[in-house]
Amino acid sequence: MTILFFTIALFVGALAAGLLGSLTGLGGGVVLIPLLTLVFRVDIHYAIGTSLVSVIATSSGAAAAYVREGITNIRLGMFLELATTLGAICGAWLSGFLSTSFIAVLFGLILIFSAAISFFKLGDPVSTGEGSPLSRWLKLNSSYPTPEGEKPYIVKNVIGGFFMMNIAGVISGLLGIGSGALKVIAMDNVMRIPFKVSTTTSNFMIGVTAAASVGVYLSRGYIDPGLSMPVMLGVLLGAFLGSRILTTAKTSSLKILFALVILVLAVEMMYNGLTHKI
């Protein structure tokens, strides 16, 4: 296998990952690392570095569109970035000391968790009212556009959400994924903000969170241009195409299919980790 063939195959794989990730809302990053390590037999450290780069690319690309629509709660995002960036740096630092087998097993667990969570979309209990003194001091309470006009909402349990974000940051820095699922849980179930706001705000934060840990990976030499080039371009193109199709395609059966793929990959990752093949 030559580099030319390897690069083209990686590009096609990343394109599929980006497309499926954006169509199902699970993000391309979750399948990238299994794809790189299991199919292309890339060292997991390179795979994590490569994944982080593509996470920055897709989240910046998507955030550009959402921010313009005025759904993203930028102040909330900025405030929670304090938690995610600190966590991300701890996670990136930790990953240098943990064995690759341990990382593989943990990755498998997070993979299953992320896929499962996407099927349990809880109700959307949006709260209105005054909001806590802390949420008012931080100006987190806001409104978002709906078909019936601007709808106000308040942010609950600011401190609890902050700690959840801290954990999401650690996972992101440790495994090189956006950990969007954890971020959405923190905002939906802990801070009780509308689903549309939490998904776009989570996406807004992912790029900055990844940028914090990418510095650690870059200085350790985990970011390889030969790998990152086809993967970043593939995922970006896939995500872009996905966002174009999204409005028309029916995605529920696709989501089940993708979740099954993720489940298989997760088991494979854990098996390889436990048998020390990774």
Candidates 22, 24, 51, 85: give the one binding other proteins (CB under 8 A). Answer: 85
* E strand or H helix at 144: strand 142-146
What is the closest distance, in whole angstroms, from the C-beta atom of residue 253 to other proteins in the complex? Answer: 31
* DSSP class of 72: S
Residue 42: left if φ>0, alpha if ψ -120 to 50, beta else—which one?
Answer: beta
Closer to other proteins by Cβ: residue 43 or 113? 43
Q: Which residues contact 60 (CB under 8 A, 6 or more apart)?
A: 207
Binding marks (x or -) toward other proteins, 51..80, rule CB under 8 A?
--x--xx-xxx-xxx-xx-x-x-xx--xx-
Closer to other proteins by Cβ: residue 126 or 218? 218
CA distance 68 to 123: 26
Closer to other proteins by Cβ: residue 3 or 119? 3
Closer to other proteins by Cβ: residue 232 or 262? 232
Interface with other proteins (CB under 8 A), residue total 64
* Residues 207-266 contacting other proteins, CB under 8 A: 207-208, 210-216, 218-230, 232-233, 236
Candidates 23, 30, 42, 168: give the one binding other proteins (CB under 8 A). Answer: 42
- Letter string b/e over residues 185-213, b meaning 16 or more CB atoms within 10 A of that residue's CB: bbbbbbbbbbebbbbbbbbbbbbbbbbbb
What is the closest distance, in whole angstroms, from the C-beta atom of residue 66 to other proteins in the complex? Answer: 8
What is the closest distance, in whole angstroms, from the C-beta atom of residue 54 to other proteins in the complex? Answer: 9
* Residues 6-25 contacting other proteins, CB under 8 A: 6-7
CA distance 260 to 210: 27
* Residues 124-143 contacting other proteins, CB under 8 A: 137-139, 143
Return contacts of 257-262, CB within 8 angstroms, 24+ apart: 258/20, 258/23, 258/24, 258/26, 258/115, 259/24, 259/26, 259/115, 259/116, 259/118, 259/119, 261/20, 261/31, 262/26, 262/30, 262/31, 262/111, 262/112, 262/114, 262/115
CA pseudo-torsion sign 64, 128, 81, 237: negative
What is the closest distance, in whole angstroms, from the C-beta atom of residue 176 to other proteins in the complex? Answer: 13
Closer to other proteins by Cβ: residue 74 or 249? 74
For 259, the token pair is: 């979740």
Closer to other proteins by Cβ: residue 48 or 259? 48
Residue ranges that bind other proteins, judged by CB under 8 A: 1-4, 6-7, 40-43, 45-46, 53, 56-57, 59-61, 63-65, 67-68, 70, 72, 74-75, 78-79, 81-82, 85-86, 89, 92, 137-139, 143, 207-208, 210-216, 218-230, 232-233, 236
